[in-house]
Structure 1
Amino acid sequence: MTNRENQILEEIRKNPLISQKELAEKLGITRSGAAVHISNLIKKGYITGKGYIVRENPYVCVVGGANIDIYGFPFKKLIKNDSNPGAIKLALGGVGRNISENLVKLGIDTNLITVLGDDIYADNITEHSREVGIKIENSLIMKNSNSSTYLSILDENGNMDVAIAAMDIFENMNVEFIKTKDKIIKNSNLCVIDTNIPKETIEYIVKEFSGDTEFLLDTVSTSKAMKIKDIIGYFQIIKPNKIEAEILTGIKIKTDSDLKKAGDIFINKGVKTVIITLGEDGVYYQNEEKSGIFKTKKVKMVNASGAGDAFAAGLAYSHINSLDIYESVKFSAMASIVAISSEETINPKLSVEEIHKIERELER
């Protein structure tokens, strides 16, 4: 589907009775041009019958953050309380946005609902989203506001040493706004939520649309994970790291037995799939049938900043494609390996084929 066809389809979803003239005026094209695009959409099967009945493809809805990332890379060992020679890089980021782009690269239709300012950063995020195929039209635009910005200092190994997140703009994603997007969330095959958005909004989404769709939680950070402690059972899939799992369960995780205890707490609260990332020690996984730790060979890391987002996208892809828990974790871990092998937060080479290629190489 072309970008223009995608735009027309979005307008038709909003108003199935919209005329070709109204479409043309909204998109700044001729009426005959709109007619050609609609004809192509009918031929491709995206529109069926009169009144523009739209056939919905399986898609993931992501509700979360989008921002500009500013990274500092030291050339040598990072020295605290000093000026370090190095390089500075700007990139598009945000947990929700990163997961969305990874999903699109894995071939999954993705709707991103986020909050943007009206600055040049917002323009960059919107333009790039349309270029790569993320549907971002349902996001909230705040006038006279700066878009979210994330500043991170990495150490000589590519790991984050310290970061500052200026993300107050996401407080504007309130319940009243989300109510206007109910069809997008309700009709999704999976809704991915990151904890950058307000607690009240997260609670409304998971309670209001429980039974209509399923939810995957990205806890984002230890401080933000506390937002969902009392509603964790509404999420079918969760992926905290070890520290976040400790905070959410009250279990100090030192052994494999402790991991099982923490997993049991999540399962007993209603979570269907528990994934606890352990860094170099692998990934713990658990559902009602099985549990275990998945480990893979160590690989060279260029930049760790996009690993978690690629892993989350891998979990969403696996859910849409009905992979079992072990295959899901393996696929997601391979997606993370693809991510950390690139200087970019989103590896341009990420694809299902590239993931399977990495898997074959590591199994030799």
Structure 2
Amino acid sequence: RNIAENLSRLNVNTKLISAIGNDLYGNTILSECKNLNIDVNDCLVSDEYSTSIYVSILNNSKDMQLAISHMDIIEKLDESFIHSKHKSIDDSKAIVIDTNLSNEAIDFITRTYSHLPIFVDTVSTAKCLKIKDILDRFEGIKLNKYEAETLSGIKIENLDDVKKSCEFFINKGIKNVFITLGGDGVYCANTDKAVHIPGVKINIVNATGAGDAFMSGIMYGFMNDLDLEETAKFSVGASILALSHKNTINPNLSVDLINQTIKELIQC
């Protein structure tokens, strides 16, 4: 949902297909999404399950130390439900999924819609293992250093290691790989080139939404035919704006503000 909101703020026509409870949180999500012009008509609304809740604890650096989530309702997004939304999904220009989905759902989506570009956010070191054997089904992947280590088996201690990790994913068939490195920036690669965008020193207000903002930058780049380096810079710009605001999603996010941020802060 956070990726969908970021994308909508970047003027990308976005549909969210998820599962929410018929409760206060769920109804708030629906109304807020509609106000942001996110199409939520294909969301599952359950009377049986409550809306997912996520609590994160930040450390002294305002980065996430621990997170607890209650997401049983996501299991309702099974093959049968996804199949019932076939026309909406099949009409899309690209699909973004994350590894909160069940193995069944991920397998069904990536098999059924293999003719569409599918991008994946790996979410966590535990959940990313769901895609370990189907990496060739993805157009693009966004991982942090630890998720990349888990999936590639390559310990990342320097940029050479990151390069090897990217090569591992490209050799598996993924066309665009983006590995975020925290304070060391981001390293990305495709079959033609590899780019390292160094870290930018900023005052971090809240680190929780940076990954979602980065993912939205990747999708904006894809939808607007940006090359690898342009996409990487745009994604870093989006994440900087997320890090600079107390909210998970920076309400001031826009294409113009990201481009301004790139010009001021990202030298590469």
TM-score range, shorter chain: over 0.9
Q: Are residue 111 (structure 1) and residue 15 (structure 2) matched?
A: yes
Q: Are residue 122 (structure 1) and residue 26 (structure 2) matched?
A: yes
Which structure has the bigger radius of gyration? Answer: 1
CA RMSD of aligned residues (A): 1.1
Q: Percent identity?
A: 45
| Paired position in structure 2 for 1:326 | 229
Which residue of 100, 111, 124 corresponds with 2:4?
100
Whole-Å Cα distance in 1 between the matches of residues 195 and 9 of structure 2? 29
The 5 A counterparts of 1:1-364 are 97-211=1-115, 213-362=116-265
Contact 1:112 1:134 in 2 (8 A): yes
Q: SS of 1:161's equivalent?
A: strand
Whole-Å Cα distance in 2 between the matches of residues 363 and 306 of structure 1? 19
CA-CA distance at 1:346 after TM superposition: 0.7
Whole-Å Cα distance in 2 between the matches of residues 289 and 144 of structure 1? 49
Task: Give the residue type in structure 2 aligned to 1:300.
Answer: N
Contact 1:104 1:133 in 2 (8 A): yes
CA-CA distance at 1:307 after TM superposition: 0.4
Whole-Å Cα distance in 2 between the matches of residues 156 and 249 of structure 1? 31
Q: SS of 1:129's equivalent?
A: helix
- Residues 206-232 of structure 1, C-alpha deviations (whole Å, 9 max, x = no match): 111111x10111011111101111111
Equivalent pairs, count: 267
Contact 1:119 1:145 in 2 (8 A): no
Whole-Å Cα distance in 1 between the matches of residues 57 and 266 of structure 2? 34
Structure 1 residues 287-296 or 199-208, which shifts more?
287-296
Whole-Å Cα distance in 2 between the matches of residues 157 and 243 of structure 1? 19
Contact 2:233 2:266 in 1 (8 A): no
Segments of 5+ residues of structure 1 without an aligned counterpart are 1-96
Contact 1:218 1:238 in 2 (8 A): yes
Q: SS of 2:69's equivalent?
A: strand
CA-CA distance at 1:144 after TM superposition: 2.7
- Residues 250-285 of structure 1, C-alpha deviations (whole Å, 9 max, x = no match): 111122222222111111111000111100011011
Whole-Å Cα distance in 2 between the matches of residues 354 and 249 of structure 1? 35
Change (3 A) 1:184 1:363: same
Segments of 5+ residues of structure 2 without an aligned counterpart are none
Q: SS of 1:239's equivalent?
A: strand
- Residues 108-163 of structure 1, C-alpha deviations (whole Å, 9 max, x = no match): 01000000011111111011111111111101111132110001111232111211
Whole-Å Cα distance in 2 between the matches of residues 292 and 224 of structure 1? 27
Contact 2:99 2:122 in 1 (8 A): yes
Whole-Å Cα distance in 2 between the matches of residues 297 and 176 of structure 1? 45
CA-CA distance at 1:296 after TM superposition: 4.2
Change (3 A) 1:98 1:253: same
Whole-Å Cα distance in 1 between the matches of residues 176 and 139 of structure 2? 6
Whole-Å Cα distance in 2 between the matches of residues 255 and 296 of structure 1? 14
State the 4+ residue runs in structure 1 displaced beyond 2 angstroms. Answer: none
Task: Give the residue type in structure 2 aligned to 1:309.
Answer: D
Contact 1:294 1:330 in 2 (8 A): yes
Q: SS of 2:15's equivalent?
A: strand
